[in-house]
A = this chain, B = another copy of it.
C-alpha cells in the first residue's frame, strides 16, 4: 500500500534553480572579516576588497580545499588559514608562501561571483566567472521620503517555491494567522485578476474591504476598499502591495535565497506610508511582521517535513491558489534555460 501511494506521488517539488541575482547578506554584515554563506548548496565567501567593494568567491581554497572563510583578509585579499595562499576579489592567486616563483596560475584560481551592494543588501550573481548583463532587483519605495522602511532576515524551513507561494497566498491567512488578517466567517466575494509580468506573475485583488484583523485595523483604521497586488518576479522576489488611499501604502518585498533544497533565506524589506508616527510604527511593524513570519515558518516546516517523508509533493490545486502553479512553472522554465511561455490573463472569484 505504502508503495502504491508513493508511486502516485509526483515530485513537483524539484523546480530547479533559476540563475540570477540573489541577496546573501545585509551590507553592514560584510566587512573586514570573511562571511560565508550557502547559495543553492554552494559554499561562497564574501568580503570587502581594498577599495571597500564587496566581492564573492567560491569558499574553497584552490590548493587543499580548506574553506577560505576560515582565513582572514590581508590588504583586500583573502588568505587561506591552512597554507596562507592569498586570492584577490577576482579569484586570482596572489601568494603561495614558500614557493619560489610566481603564485598566479590558472590552476590556482578560485571561481568568483559578481557582487553588488544595493539598497542595504549584498547581492551575488549565481553563475561563477560571469559578468551579468543585468543588475540586482531594485526594491520599490525602500527608504523613499515619507516611507518607513524595515529590513529583516529569516531562515525559512522550505524550498523557495513553497516559501514564495506562502508569502503570496491569501487563503491561508484566515487559519495560520487567525485574527491578524482575515477570519473564516462573514466572507465577502471579490475578484482576482491573474496576469503575467515580464519574468513573473501578478495577482490583483479587487473589491476587498479593509480586513477586520489586527493588522488591518492598525494600518488602516478608517477602513475602505483595499487595492492589493501579490507579485512573483524571477528568480527570487515575492512582493505584497496594499493601497487604501493616497495616504496608506504598504509594500513588502522579500528576496528569497535558496540555501539548500529545503531551506530558504528570506530577506524582507517592508516600506510603509501610513498616517501613524514612526515611533509607533517602529514599535508595531517589526513585532507584528515577526509574529506572522514565525507562524509561516511553523507551517512551512511541517509541510516540508511531510513532503520529505513522502519522497516528494503531491499537490491538488484549486483556482484560488492563484500564483502557486505559476511560480513553479516560472522557476522550472528559468532553471532549465527556457524562456517563460505565455500565460494568459485569468479572472476568478474568491471569498475572503
Contacts and interface: CB of A to CB of B under 8 A. Distances in A.
A58 interface: yes
A13 B141 CA distance: 51
A89 interface: no
Contacts of A352: 98
Given A64-B315, A99-B351, A100-B350, 7 more contacts: A5-B58, A5-B111, A59-B306, A82-B299, A83-B175, A98-B351, A105-B316
A80 to B, nearest CB: 8
A82 B172 contact: yes
A307 B98 CA distance: 24
Dominant SS at the A interface?
loop
A290 interface: no
A166 B1 CA distance: 27
B65 A319 contact: no
B98 A170 contact: yes
Interface in A60-99: 60, 62-67, 70, 80-84, 96-99
Nearest to A100: B349
Interface stretch (A25-33, A37-45, A273-281): A37-45
Interface string A34-57: 000001111100000000000000
Contacts of A345: none
Interface string A289-313: 0000000000100110111011001
Contact of A97 (B82, B171, B319): B171
A46 B316 CA distance: 22
